[in-house]
């Protein structure tokens, strides 16, 4: 509980909305102004690539030849009747990772492991949903389904247990580029050699005028970038 509270106090929008409210209530214009400027800055498309660059995974990949592909989950989608996709489903980030993992499996012929636990009470582990989508829509079935993990650290721990039992010590790790540094750290701490395989290459900062025009999409990307920055340093401390 304390970790959750600390997290929301460290990451926007709470980390900026609280000072903004305090500045308005106490008429501290300087505090309200700084908080408002922070909210605007995070909504600029230029910001997220800069933050992501602070934790970019630039280390050389493991030398050992991978024996499996690990695909990490992200978000899920509710199955709601009335549409074409009316079953428990995977979200956009998870779909991108699944597509990349499937393509890599077809190129290499290696077995796949999908990892992710229950994200919402009453729903199946997201790894099971990933496996179903892969089987039904891509005609490939993962060899292992790890459905106990609740975060990236547990993704690594429980996946490593499964893979070591199967004699696998080196993996291709498939996730989103901004999630790679934290994921690789967790899997290496779990005892696996890692060859990073981001679903897409990371973005780079641009300096065109439109990069400084705030948008909702850019704000969301900045949120994920800060989430990963905080998470990466937290994993360094705990490991």
Domain assignment present for residue 63? The answer is no
Q: Mark whether 108 and 187 lie in a shared domain.
A: yes
Whether residues 94 and 18 fall in one domain: no
Q: Are residues 234 and 150 in the same domain?
A: no
Hunting for tokens 């790890």 — which residue is that?
Answer: 146
In a domain, 180, yes or no: yes
Q: What CATH number did the domain enclosing 138 receive? A: 3.40.50.620
Rounded CA Rg of the chain: 20
Q: What is the predicted pLDDT for the residue at 93? A: 96
Total domain count for the chain?
Answer: 2
Write out the residue range of the structural domain in which residue 11 sits: 2-55+214-238
State whether 145 and 91 are in the same domain. yes
For residue 208, what pLDDT is reported? 83
Flag whether 205 is in a domain.
no
**What is the secondary structure of 47-61 as a DSSP string?**
HHHHHHHTT---SPP
pLDDT of residue 185: 96
So what's the pLDDT on residue 3? 66
Q: Are residues 33 and 137 in the same domain?
A: no
CA dist 47 and 37 (Å) reads: 13
pLDDT at 154: 98
61 falls within a domain: no
What is the full per-residue pLDDT of the chain (239 aa) written as tens digits?
666 777 777 788 888 888 899 899 988 999 999 999 999 999 999 998 998 888 888 888 988 899 999 999 999 999 888 889 889 999 999 999 999 999 999 999 999 999 999 999 999 999 999 999 999 999 999 999 999 999 999 999 999 999 999 999 999 999 999 999 999 999 999 999 999 999 998 877 777 888 899 999 998 999 999 999 989 998 998 87
Instruction: Compute φ and ψ for 115, nearest 5 degrees.
Output: -135, 130
Q: CA 3, CA 181: separation in Å to the nearest integer?
A: 21
34 near 199, Cβ under 8 Å? Answer: no
Residue 224 belongs to a domain: yes
Inside any domain, residue 158: yes
* Of 158, 145, 155, nearest in space to 175 by CA: 155
Within-domain flag for 106 = yes
């Amino acid at each position: 509980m304390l970790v959750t509270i600390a997290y929301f106090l460290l990451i926007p929008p709470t980390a900026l909305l609280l000072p903004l409210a305090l500045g308005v209530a106490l008429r501290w214009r300087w505090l309200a102004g700084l908080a408002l400027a922070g909210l605007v800055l995070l909504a600029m498309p230029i910001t997220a690539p800069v933050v992501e660059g602070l934790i970019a995974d630039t280390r050389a990949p493991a030398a050992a030849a991978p024996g499996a592909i690990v695909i990490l989950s992200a978000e899920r989608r509710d199955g709601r009747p009335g549409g074409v996709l009316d079953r428990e489903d995977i979200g956009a980030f998870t779909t991108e990772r699944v597509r990349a993992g499937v393509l890599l499996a077809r190129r290499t012929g290696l077995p796949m492991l999908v990892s992710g636990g229950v994200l919402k009470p009453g729903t199946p582990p997201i790894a099971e949903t990933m496996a179903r989508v892969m089987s039904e829509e891509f005609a490939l079935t993962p060899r292992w389904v790890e459905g106990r993990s609740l975060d990236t650290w547990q993704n690594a721990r429980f996946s490593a247990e499964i893979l070591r039992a199967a004699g696998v010590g080196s993996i291709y790790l498939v996730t989103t580029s901004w999630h790679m540094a934290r994921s690789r750290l967790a899997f290496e701490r779990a005892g696996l050699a890692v060859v990073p395989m981001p679903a897409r290459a990371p973005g780079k900062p641009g300096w065109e005028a439109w990069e400084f025009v705030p948008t909702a999409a850019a704000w969301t990307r900045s949120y994920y970038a800060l989430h990963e920055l905080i998470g990466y340093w937290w994993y360094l401390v705990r490991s």
